[in-house]
Chains A and B, each alone.
Chain A
Amino acid sequence: MKLWLLYLLLLKATCTTFAGLASLPVLRSDLVINHHWLTDQQLNTAVVVTRTTPGPAGLYIVSVGYLVGRVPGAIIAWLAMITPALLVIPLLKFAGRKAQHPRTKGLLQAIVLSSAGLLVASAFPLAREAATEPFTIGLLIVCIAVLLTRKVESVWVVLCAAVIELAASSLNLAR
């Protein structure tokens, strides 16, 4: 696994999406499906780790980088995570007014909406693998409902789900 290739693949994921977790489908396509450097289980672990820590949602990429290439991989992932942020500087300097043009805004709307669709699409196979029995399927549905209808931070949902799974397992409700 070449670090420069990892950087380019992670950069491709971060540069083609406009929100933290939205890069997940592109990243999964390259690292899990095409190059087999990561498994879906590891990708889920990276998301879990960073949903229980402070910081931006896109931080999961650093965890992915570590899982793929240990500390050098994590450093490369950090670089890939911060590189696109530097693009705001030329935008600030030169593009201010053009950024509000309807075509520019239309383009951004299309990318954000498509990213939402891609995120949902990439969550389906992960859900198929993780929620394999009635209890975990029910837990998934309840977690989604809570996140959509209540102003609850995801860290609490993740921690509660972990505790519920432990309790269910001890009561033989879940495997």
Chain B
Amino acid sequence: MNRPSLPQLAWIFFRRGNFTFGGGTATIAVLDQEVIESRKLVTREQAVLSFGLARLTPGTNLLAYCTALGWLTRGPLGACVALSAVSIPCSVLAIVLTVLYDSWLRKPLVATAMQGAIVAAIAVMFATGWTLIRPLRANTSAIKILFFSTGACIAALAGMPPIRVLLLAVLLGFAWPAEGRAS
């Protein structure tokens, strides 16, 4: 496998992480193409393990995945460089746009357009629920899917704090192992 310099690593994650629309999934796909196929920095097996462990890591999967790839290529410094390169530029852009939105919202036309945009953003939240469930359909029973997703939704609507719902899910999930043998 090739060993990139830290500036090269930063450039890869800066380009792929901050100029790809479509969220984490799209970014992981373009990163895989560059890191595995074009530059041969990690093997596909290493990338698959990193992706699986990134799914086990709380928070944003993309950030954990980039941290794992950085670690595999250049150790602790590589992990820090990858994580910073993929997160700082888009965070700065998010802050700038938030400031601009704040001032733009005073303009009537923008305020009106923003109402439509907010409706769409709420639609994204609903659709993201399905996006989270969809990859699990292949290896999770329908009963389990319905039990946890509907149960959590009903519990939250009934007033149970989200953190309590998640803790309950942890206990029940541990007691209800996934189908298939441990490898």
Contacts and interface: CB of A to CB of B under 8 A. Distances in A.
Contacts of B126: 119-120, 123, 127, 144, 147
What interface size band does chain B fall in?
35 or more
Interface string B119-145: 111111111111011001000100011
B125 A88 contact: no
Given A92-B72, A100-B183, A66 B98 contact: yes
A3 interface: no
A91 B67 CA distance: 12
Q: Is the interface of B mostly helix, strand, loop or mixed?
A: helix
Contacts of B147: 113
B53 interface: yes
Interface stretch (B4-12, B17-25, B32-40): B17-25
A82 B95 contact: no
A102 B60 contact: no
What interface size band does chain A fall in?
35 or more
A78 B176 contact: no
A5 to B, nearest CB: 16
Interface in B31-73: 49-50, 52-68, 71-72
Given A45-B101, A87-B58, A106-B174, A25 B162 contact: yes
B164 to A, nearest CB: 10
A15 interface: yes
A92 B71 contact: yes
B95 A74 contact: yes
A115 B132 CA distance: 8
B113 interface: yes
A38 interface: no
B178 A82 contact: no
A39 interface: no
A26 to B, nearest CB: 5
Interface in A29-76: 29, 41, 44-60, 62-63, 66-67, 71, 74
A49 B97 contact: yes
Contacts of B153: 117-118, 120-121
- Max chain B C-beta neighbours (<10 A), residue from A83, A84, A174: A84
Contact of A144 (B26, B63, B127): B127
Interface string A82-118: 1111111101100111011111111111111111111
B48 to A, nearest CB: 11
B119 A55 contact: no
Nearest to A108: B56
Contacts of B66: 85
A81 B59 contact: yes
A105 B53 CA distance: 11
A54 B21 contact: yes
Interface of A: 12, 14-26, 29, 41, 44-60, 62-63, 66-67, 71, 74, 78, 81-89, 91-92, 95-97, 99-124, 126-127, 130-131, 136, 139-140, 143-144, 146-148, 153-155, 157-166, 168-169, 174
7 closest cross-chain pairs (CB), A and B: A110-B173, A165-B116, A117-B152, A55-B90, A84-B59, A143-B123, A113-B148
